Amino acid sequence: MNCKEFQECACEIVDKRLSDERTQELLRHANVCPHCRYELQALQTVKTVLHEKVHRKSVPAELYYTIVNRAMSESGTSWFQKLFGIKLNPAIAVVVLAAVLVGAYSLLFPVASIADESNIINQSLENYQAVIGGSIKPQLVSNHDEVRSFLQKEVNFSVNVPKMKNCKSCAGVLSIFKGVKLAHVVYEMEGNIIYIYQANLDDVMKGDKIGLPENVKVALEDNKWYIEETNNKTVVLWQYKNTLCAAVSKLKKDHLVALLTE
Ligand SMILES: [Zn+2]
């Protein structure tokens, strides 16, 4: 841990976006480094003052992530290096990487047509790509249960955070696409990213804001899994309670399905 690394994450500590483990690691640096300790105190003071004096207005998720994205691409380091550190020991902490959201990504990389844009398979593939690119920060990195309850508070469908063997933590992000609330969960396992897009199944079946091709809907209505392999990526769609889940990964379909159903 050096001062630069600490300072890049200082805001995240104040905003409580990091896992306990990562927070402790950073605070240990602040304990021995007066300069960084001062910086952290200053940030905390600013946050408190803003909180007291300014009436906070929430901005649309799209806007927030557009800003985050720009800041990140200007700084040249990917957010996961900043948030998780680069000296990860994959054997001990299979830490998680990213999570992402459709809205912001679509703003930055406009897609061809509305139909393509609202197709959940396309959205999931784009988001997966954005996860790999490291363009968006997770809102919470923690264990399965905490990520689930964090996401669950904000959405009207059952959030599914599968417990995967050898994976202690994952990342969660919430977003809104054309007024539809979405939840995203991301895992990192042995260098592979597994991204899961989640939405209310009724919104998906209605199909006016987000939707799926007819053949996929038919498969889901029969309570079946829908699996598609495209460009070295596997897309798996399934129904979990009243939730549509769409997972994307480079893992082969058997491996991916096994992890999702473990
Ligand atoms: Zn320092």
Where do the domains of the chain lie? 3-53, 65-261
Q: Which residue has the higher pLDDT, 182 or 65?
A: 182
One-letter identity of residue 97 = L
Q: Find the 6 Cα to ligand 1 centroid distance in Å.
A: 6
| Predicted local distance difference test score (pLDDT) of residue 135 | 61
Neighbouring residues of 100: CB distance < 8 A, sequence distance ≥ 6: 127, 128, 130, 131, 135, 136, 173, 184, 186, 195
Q: Find the 132 Cα to ligand 1 centroid distance in Å.
A: 29
- Tens of pLDDT along 142-192? 888 989 999 999 999 999 999 887 777 788 888 888 888 899 998 887 778
The whole-angstrom separation of Cα 144 and Cα 164 is 9
Q: How many CB atoms lie within 10 A of CB 115?
A: 11
Q: Find the 92 Cα to ligand 1 centroid distance in Å.
A: 26
CATH topology of domain 65-261: Phosphorylase Kinase; domain 1 (3.30.200)
- Tens of pLDDT along 230-257? 888 999 999 999 999 999 999 999 999 9
Q: Find the 34 Cα to ligand 1 centroid distance in Å.
A: 7
Q: Find the 43 Cα to ligand 1 centroid distance in Å.
A: 14
For the cut 90, the answer to whether the pLDDT of residue 74 exceeds it is: no
| Predicted local distance difference test score (pLDDT) of residue 51 | 61
Q: Find the 19 Cα to ligand 1 centroid distance in Å.
A: 20
